[in-house]
Structures are given as C-alpha cells and as structure tokens.
Amino acid sequence: MKWASSASKVDKCVSIMNFCERSANIFMETADSMAKMARETLVRATLPNFHLPAAVEILTTGSYNRVPRCIRDRIVPQEPITAVERRRVLLQLNQVKKSVFFFSFSNSPCLSTERFFPLPTYSR
C-alpha cells in the first residue's frame, strides 16, 4: 500500500484532468455553434458600405455641405433675420398694404375713400 500515500495527489490530478476535459468540450461546442451561426444565421448580417467622402468632410471641416435641400429645409433651422432686415420687410409690407388698400377703393365708385375717410366739414 505504498500508493495509498500518494492517492491524494492522484485524485487532484484526476480532478484537474476532468476540469480540463470539460473546458475543452465546452470550448468545442461554443466554436461549433458559432461556426453554425456564421454559416446559417449571419449570412445576411452585413454592414453597409460607408460613404467615405462624407465622413472625411465631416471629420475635417465639422460640417456636411451636401445635405439634400428637402432635409436641410425641414431639419436645419434657418438663420434669424436681423433687426434691420425686419424693419425693411415691415416697411415694404406696410407700403404694399397701403397701395392695395388705395387701389381697391379708387377703382370702385361705390367704395370711395370719402366714404371711409370723410373730409371734415367746418360750420360757421
């Protein structure tokens, strides 16, 4: 019974061998299932070709100037008008309003400007 003194060492070696064999089996099953998934499921799972000129432009300049107009008009906010531009547009609108008002009443005999803006009468 000389071997009885080294039985604990043999048991440790057997348990280590069993652990290594289970790990190898798990590794092989994982590799097989990944290969099967790559052959059957992931055939259609591809990335699109990226537009490299757009990516280079964005990374170098920080903006993209080739956005289609329909997208740019809907998404990109327009620059606000300045106070000078606002005043000029309001003056033009006021002028257009006055001319439309004047021409609409001057062309119609029953709607003259005297009816709406009578001249003041002075009595003595």
Per-residue pLDDT tens over the stretch 32-86: 999 999 888 887 878 888 888 888 998 999 888 888 888 888 887 888 889 999 9
71 with 59, same domain: the answer is: yes
pLDDT digits (tens, 9 = 90+) for 105-118: 665 555 555 555 55
Name residues whose C-beta falls within 8 Å of residue 10's C-beta, 6 or more positions apart in sequence: 3
Tokens at residue 7, please?
């039985």
Does 21 have pLDDT greater than 90? yes
Predicted pLDDT at 66: 82
114 with 91, same domain: the answer is: yes
Predicted pLDDT at 28: 97
Q: What are phi and psi of 6, to 5 degrees?
A: -105, 15
28 with 53, same domain: the answer is: no
Name residues whose C-beta falls within 8 Å of residue 90's C-beta, 6 or more positions apart in sequence: none
36, 43 Cβ separation under 8 angstroms: no
DSSP type of residue 67? -
Does residue 3 lie in a domain region? no
105, 117 Cβ separation under 8 angstroms: no
Alpha-carbon gap, residue 46 to 33, rounded angstroms: 19
Residue 88 amino acid letter = R
Does residue 1 lie in a domain region? no
